[in-house]
Amino acid sequence: MTNRLTIAHVFPALLGTYGDAGNVSVLRYRAEVRGIRVSIVDVLPGDPVPATADLYVIGGGEDAQEMRATELLRADSGLSMAVHRGAPVLAVCAGMQILGEWFTDGSDSRVAGLGLLDLRTDRRSVRAVGDVIADTTGVLDLPTLIGFENHRGATSLGADARPLARVLHGIGNGAAEPVEGALQGSVIGTYLHGPVLALNPALADYLLTQVVGDLAPMDDVRAEEFRANRFQRARA
Amino acid sequence: MTGRMIQRIAPDALAQLSAGRSTVLVSGTNGKSTTTAMIVAALGGAVATNTTGANMPGGVIEAYSRSRARVAVMEVDELYVPAIGASTLPEIFVALNLSRDQMDRMHEVGSVARRWSGYLDGSEVHVIANATDPNIVAAVGTRSATWVDPGWAWRQDSVVCPRCTEVLMWESARWSCVCGLRQPVADYTVEGDVVHTLHGGSLRLELSLPGAVNLGNAAFAIAVAQRRGVDSDLAARRISAIDDVEGRYGTIQVGGRTARTLLAKNPAGWASLLPMLADDDVLIVSINADEVDGLDTSWLWDVPFEELAGRTVGAHGVHRSDVALRLEVAGALPVVDADIHRLAGRLPQGPCVIAATYGSFETLRGRR
């Protein structure tokens, strides 16, 4: 087990509209409680993405910001190098779409993504907005995922990407299969906000474990109350 | 009769009721109610206005129906600016600011700005707008406008140019883009507690309402008053006398102590509220997330609660557990309780401040 961790927060200024910066706050908090020293690199638009960080977090954003982030990432090799050496990545919503093969923009033309996830995203006619409950059994075998989706993507997975979870409530990827997110090697994609790691501390610990090894248990009373409150609403 | 009932009987009620009156519409993510109240005060005399924050068509119709005043000042929900603007043909439109809020209802800042732009393109209205907010400036476009620099800016939703998506450049607190969109020269500028007005005038404001954000709101109200021919000194005195807006800056009794109430419903609102807290203030964060507040509470993680690290803070409302985790991760010490009175009793000594989302606020004030 290592006691240091560097998190690259990729373009929070562009991809941070939906509170997804909270994923980085949660990772830092849960690592620090375990005595791990955390440094966070907020990658600004125009700055290079570091290739040597331990963990990468990318959030969701609006259409114009998503386009700009895609352009910048396509001109930068940092993230691809990190993925090829197996660094864990969490990509939420627009972040997941950007990491795919392509997505369609507001005028229905295809925009090439980074090709780090075997998925393609068309545009839904109706926006998917609301609570999502999803089951990771057989994939990561974590406690049931819960989060809030707010997107217009219809994301279909290719053979190299596995669904992160099976949708029990809500829309999720919104293509044919009722599945949520994607898992391919060390990259996790999801449509869930909340932030997803605040509502699903086991997923946060899964990511941390990839870098630092086994983690000591911690008091999760507040996170459990947050989850219970949200499950209650989603199931009402 | 309620506005909705009137609307059902007469679908063109809004156009009919507003015809022949001079209307000022006020919209933006934050400051609508306070700025509307300031404009009403600054203009003086009889004014039709929607004082209960009922800012969708039903509420606006009802406000017109209850007053024969020749002048109307209405706050308008951001999404209803085109519809209400097209019906009321306002003389002045006040565009305060646009930032992330109720993402599950509004969706995106950029799409709200585009709706405004579409409305303004086909309208004769005179615009009084925020020069520091790129989304507002892009929505106003090339038409002539009265520009206000309210003395503060929320930048998290203005990283890229709303017109071309290049990253905006900020230099000595002014922004510009390579595409040519840039911060217009302001006609009204707030510096400290002074508002510099048209033609080199300046007014020192002694507002009863707290916070830098209200000095900015006052500058918009003074701009409207001057446009309508009201003396700016008189307008400033009238605005300064306002000490409460629908209870938003009032007090309530909780658990045997007096608590100031403040409305804060999105990251930009919170960013302007946190600096107003004194070191010994004891804060309660009260968050509901029903339809009036938006269902998604993810935005709590965009609020810089880290500024409260080390302080004991109350968590209340339907989403008190969301707040508690957010506060804990921010390094604050949350105390959680469903009962506001019991919660107030469990918190340390000191002046109590309750900051609440809209739904929560109305519940605390006993109005819902």
Q: Does A33 touch chain B (CB under 8 A)?
A: no
Residue B311 and residue B224 share a domain: no
**Two structure tokens written together for B147:** 């520009």
The pLDDT assigned to B367 comes to: 60
**Domain end position, chosen among B240, B261, B294:** B240
Answer yes or no: is B99 within a domain.
Answer: yes
Range of the domain at B51: 3-240
pLDDT tens readout for residues B60-97: 999 999 999 999 999 999 999 999 999 999 999 999 99
Cα nearest neighbour of A26 on chain B: B329
Do B85 and B230 belong to one domain?
A: yes
- B199 and B255: one domain? no
B309: exposed, middle or buried (C-beta count within 10 Å: 0-12, 13-18, 19+)? Answer: exposed
pLDDT in tens, B99-124: 887 766 666 788 899 999 999 998 99
Flag whether residue B329 sits within 8 Å of chain A, measured between CB atoms. Answer: yes
Q: What is the mean pLDDT of residues A197-218?
A: 97
Same domain, B195 and B289: no
Which of B163, B164, B329, B333 would you mutate first to test chain A, the one with the most A CBs within 10 A? Answer: B329
Region A88-107: what's the mean pLDDT?
A: 95
pLDDT tops 90 at residue A196: yes
| Residue B74 parent element (H or E) | strand B71-75
B135 versus B1: which is more confidently predicted? Answer: B135
- Angstrom CA distances, A9 to A27, A41, A190, A203, B169, stand at 11, 6, 16, 17, 21
**Residue B215 covered by a domain:** yes
The CATH number covering residue B120 comes to: 3.40.1190.10
Instruction: Report the catalytic residues of A.
Output: 93, 193
Contact A148 B298 (CB under 8 A): yes
B98: in domain: yes
Radius of gyration of chain B (CA): 20
Q: How far is A65 from chain B (nearest CA, A)?
A: 7
Same domain flag for B207 and B59 = yes
The confidence score (pLDDT) of residue B178 equals 93
Take residue B91 and report the two structure tokens written for it. Answer: 């003389």
Burial class (CB in 10 A: 0-12, 13-18, 19+), A76: middle
Q: Which of B199, B217, B240 is the last residue of a domain?
A: B240
In a domain, B286, yes or no: yes
What structural domains and CATH numbers belong to chain A?
A: 4-235 (3.40.50.880)
**Pair B231, B268 in one domain:** no
From B104's Cα to the closest Cα of chain A, the distance in A is 6
Task: Looking at the structure, tell me whether residues B190 and B279 fall in a common domain.
Answer: no
Average pLDDT over residues A133-156: 96
The answer to the question of residue B65 being in a domain is: yes
Residue-wise pLDDT tens digits, B193-225: 999 998 789 999 999 998 889 999 999 999 999
Chosen domain end from B206, B240, B274: B240
Burial classification of residue A157, based on how many CB atoms lie within 10 Å of its CB (0-12 exposed, 13-18 middle, 19 or more buried): buried
Does the model's ipTM exceed the 0.85 cut? Answer: yes
Same domain, B309 and B232: no
Classify residue B246: in a domain, yes or no: no
Residues B233 and B289 in one domain: no
pLDDT of residue B294: 73
What's the pLDDT at A63? 85
Residue B350 has pLDDT above 80, yes or no: yes
Say which residue the tokens 């219970």 belong to. Answer: A228
CATH number at residue B303: 3.90.190.20
pLDDT of residue B217: 96
Which tokens belong to B9? 């009987």
Does any domain span residue B245?
A: no
How distant is the Cα of A29 from the closest Cα of chain B, in angstroms?
6
Element housing B191 (H / E): strand B188-191
The number of distinct structural domains making up chain B is 2
State the CB neighbour count (10 A cutoff) for residue B345: 13
Domain check: are B267 and B322 in the same one? yes
Q: Which of residues 94-113 of B touch A (CB under 8 A)?
A: 100, 103-104, 107-111
Query: B110, A225: Cβ pair inside 8 Å?
Result: no
- Give Cβ neighbours of residue B131 (< 8 Å, ≥ 6 apart): B137, B147, B148, B149, B183, B184, B185, B186
**Residue B264 included in any domain:** yes
- Which tops the pLDDT comparison, B330 or B156? B330
Rounded Cα distance, B348 and B335, in Å: 10
Asked if B317 has any chain A CB less than 8 Å from its own CB, the reply is: no
Indicate if B77 and B194 belong to the same structural domain: yes
Same-domain status, B166 and B224: yes
